[in-house]
Amino acid sequence: MDNQRRIKLVTGALLLSNIMAGMDGTIVNTALPAITSDLHGLQYMGWIVATFLCGLAVATPLWSKMGEHKGNKQAYISATSLFLIGAIFQANAPNIIWFIIARTVMGIGASGMNTIPFIVYAELYPNRRKRAKILGIASAGFGTASIVGPLLGGWIVDTWSWHWVFYVNVPIAIITITLVSIFYQNPPKQAAGKPVDYLGAVLLVVSLITILAAVQMIGSTSTLVVLCLAVIGLILLAGMVKVDNKAEDPIIPNRLFTNRELMIDFILFVIIWASFIAFSTYVPMWAQGILGASAFLGGITQIPGAVTSFISSEMVPSLHEHVGKYWVVTIGAGSIFISFLGILICGQSTPFWLFCAMGAFEGVGVGLVFNVLQISVQTDAEMRDIPIATSLGYLLRSLSQTLMSAVYGVILNQELFKGVSASHGDITMRMLNKLSNAETANQLPSRLVPPMRKILFIGYRNIVIAAIILIVISLLIVVPMSFQRQESAMPQEYNSNK
């Protein structure tokens, strides 16, 4: 078989990873009300989201290093196999603790399954224009899966049970593993012969887990414990930096942090991703818990965003060429701001159609921001740093989502416990769990449904406010940079026109 056909088959297999990622996120978000209701875990919502993202975060640089030492082929197959195992164990979870542990395992696998393909694209497509096209197709694949995911997830939950949403990943994972095993040929290993920075890896993983644990415990344990864990985590992270300064092949090279353009890409990724995850996680729950919509309709709220994300991602190359990177990010962040603002203004009376309309704005923002920043990370990094820069970008996005998912969970839990306490025994956490699922909500006393929905609304509203604050911060960073770049480019454009 000629090399071009091999490249196409490998690319197709890796693109299936994007389909799995897009489908898993939207299917699970749609099924979360049924899962938390069945396993009595509404108060663990923050943990369900955060532990998966924690696995994504802490394992990401380790998978890229495994690729450098053992080969991207072995790294991808190992990661996707772990993702598959996690999916099967989630489908068979007998309780919420089992489910959370399996979700964490799936997140660890997902970090490599989602990161390694972008490293391989840079290897298979050294031409930046061709690579940008492939990244656009990858984004489109993610968007298409995101369109199918809510419909499929809602239909599966309503027709069978939430357990089956995880089995969807099984055949796709098997196909990708098989194709990569047969047709992908590892290039020379970049870090072959160099000692593995095991100490740096351990310090990084333990520091991140400690910091994330501290964030998760906010509101559920003493402030002193939270502060102690956070300080320990930061000390360990500083130790990792010190170790990496001396390591021959550091987990995260310090030279990345002296690249100004790359650092700006990372900062924007962190802030914007921390904001938009609130929409994809809590809007389906808002529709089901407050509007009383089914799981199927809750999933539909995500479809307009998937469609507009698909469309806007295809517009990035043209927009980038005409207005520049920072204006594209400005437009994207502004669109996400509109999506949250519309929901905040309408409040508890937000109709279903408005969720869909605001979802369309959110999708435009995500499609624009992801594509332009993903391409920028790989073009702003030195050639030797493309794998670790790609990995670090993914790590920072995952970490920001993990931290904010924990914060959003704390925000929601504070209102849930406050509402339960204020009801003087009339409302319990178990009842709120039932309210979050349309199928069990009709078992609740009708007189208590309005105050229970009020409790949920206040929690979701506060999450939206937090997300708006983050997106405003991103706009305050990027808008001045957009004008500065435009002004600095004007003399050159003027001279060339003359």
Q: Sorting pLDDT into bands at 50, 70 and 90, what band is 247? A: confident
> Residue 337 and residue 373: Cα distance in Å, rounded?
18
Give the tokens for residue 120.
């391989």
- Number of H helices and E strands in the chain, helices first, is 17, 0
> Which pLDDT tens digit goes with each residue over 14-68?
988 878 877 776 677 778 778 888 887 777 776 777 778 777 777 877 888 888 7
Residue 193, pLDDT > 60, answer no
- How many of the other CB atoms lie within 10 Å of CB of 498? 5
**Structure letter (DSSP) for residue 347:** G
What confidence score (pLDDT) does residue 467 get? Answer: 94
What confidence score (pLDDT) does residue 490 get? Answer: 39
Q: In terms of pLDDT, which residue wins out, 143 or 452?
A: 452
Can you give the C-alpha Rg of the chain in angstroms? 22
The proportion of the chain whose per-residue pLDDT surpasses 90, expressed as a percent, equals 18
Q: Sorting pLDDT into bands at 50, 70 and 90, what band is 178? A: very high
What confidence score (pLDDT) does residue 119 get? Answer: 85
Q: Sorting pLDDT into bands at 50, 70 and 90, what band is 478? A: very high
Q: Which of 190, 396, 159, 429 is CA-nearest to residue 299? A: 159
Contact 339, 358 (CB under 8 A): yes
What confidence score (pLDDT) does residue 191 get? Answer: 52
**Mean pLDDT across the chain, nearest whole number?**
82
What confidence score (pLDDT) does residue 188 get? Answer: 60
What is the Cβ-side half-sphere exposure of residue 88, based on CA atoms within 13 angstroms?
10
The predicted model gives 372-386 an average pLDDT of: 81
pTM, whole model, 2 decimals? 0.74
> Which pLDDT tens digit goes with each residue over 157-170?
878 888 888 888 88
Q: Sorting pLDDT into bands at 50, 70 and 90, what band is 463? A: very high
Which of 180-194, 402-416, 453-467 is most confident? Answer: 453-467
What confidence score (pLDDT) does residue 319 get? Answer: 85
What confidence score (pLDDT) does residue 85 get? Answer: 92
What confidence score (pLDDT) does residue 498 get? Answer: 32
Residue 492, pLDDT > 60, answer no
Residue 238, pLDDT > 80, answer yes
> Which pLDDT tens digit goes with each residue over 354-370?
999 999 999 899 888 98
Give the tokens for residue 372.
């332009």
> Which pLDDT tens digit goes with each residue over 409-428?
888 888 888 888 888 778 88
- How many of the other CB atoms lie within 10 Å of CB of 186? 14
What confidence score (pLDDT) does residue 489 get? Answer: 45
The 3-state DSSP class for residue 409 equals: helix
